[in-house]
Structure 1
Amino acid sequence: MARTWAIVLAAGLGTRFGTEIDGVTKVWAPIAGRSMVSWSVDAARRACDGVTLVVSAAMVHQPFDGVDAVVAGGDSRSASVRAGLETVPDGVDVVVCHDAARPGASSGLFGAVISAVGAGADAAVPALGVSDTLKRVPEWGEGGGVVSGTVDRAGLFAVQTPQAFGREVLATVHADQAEATDDAALVEAAGGTVVAIPGEAAAHKVTTAADLVIVEALLRARVADDGL
């Protein structure tokens, strides 16, 4: 059995959400009775052998339940992943990176991406087909922008987290301090094999306060169905 480790990323400021609501930064906001971080850590713990939580420098000395290590993040998402990687112990085969701002991701979704890497992929990501019509708007101002074309959405998918990686693959693509919006992009650029598995509607990313309402409804439905 491959040994697995999760890196849960909770160091961002959440500026599009509104940096604070009632004095709480985004990923610490309550949702369905618990913080977003708590939901994300719990799902990671159910699926992985160990969990590292990456937080802001101001919170690194706070106690957190359910994690094996806590580390301060960097100035970017990629830098925060690298900080988390430094805590992963020897003997771990698969590393899973997850954004705490996706509290609805289930432990089953973690297990699915881990299984895909175990089957031979360098990386595995959850993805959902794009349902909206997509337009190109090269420049967007306060009053909007001018559409330059419509994008064919056939074959286009929105990618979520958790994302799983072979431990050595992830360490290698981060060795030169590369930056990307997700780690799978770094694996793609290096020529690695990235596979997509079906994502989950509940793994929706909380970016705005409206997203919080959507995900809370999905999580409350899960609690009612599963008693979690």
Structure 2
Amino acid sequence: MVRLSVNVNKIATLRNARGGNMPDLLKVVRDIEAFGGEGITIHPRPDQRHIRYQDARDLKKIVRTELNIEGNPIPEFLDLVLQVRPDQVTLVPDAPDAITSNAGWDTIAHRDFLREVIGKCRKAGIRTSIFVDPDPEMIRGAAETGTDRVELYTEAYAREYPTDPEGAVKAYRTAANIAHEVGLGLNAGHDLSLENIAYFKNQVPHLQEVSIGHALICESLYLGLENVINMYKNKLR
């Protein structure tokens, strides 16, 4: 079964909108785990517009499944990760003003930088993953950085899935097989939803974990958080 890591950025966005503590991020995370979520993902950005750096420190104390911290490894982010020591860090090359992640790493051009960052994380006992497009060259390049896993950026799949499911997933299937061949674990995330997750899981081999936030929270407004988490888990079996 593919593990479901729930990204709780949107819960923090809602909390921050009124300046208080409603909804209570820590309570929601406890509930997600109680409902069957198998991991918690957060993506603290420099402006802390949703997840704050202190949230990462607080969540480390209560998460009982797996804590995955995503982000661009600028010095402040890397200091946070090495202090908190999550189960996994996912390195994402997003600009400070990006609304959301919109591209994977060029693992060849940034090989030496990634190798240095990953070395520090692995020394601290943190599993590493690199956010990449489903490009065979980038997958092979990732293997040269020392990373444990790659996370396939699935926005293109989600965009094309409604009109051409097979065309949408083809590059991801190839990328998954290459990742397996070069000894990398495989995660995926971005714009996956109840509509498209089952087909992706069934078509993409060697998949270990998906990280889902925006769609899952939106679907929960209509269907309820506990119900939606179990709907995802059923589709990922």
Do both proteins adopt the same fold according to a TM-score greater than 0.5, normalized to the shorter chain? no
Instruction: Give the TM-score normalised by structure 2.
Output: 0.32
Higher relative contact order (CA 8 A, sep 6+): 1
Instruction: Give the TM-score normalised by structure 1.
Output: 0.33
The structure with the greater share of residues assigned to helix is 2
The structure number with the bigger radius of gyration is 1
The structure with the greater share of residues assigned to strand is 1
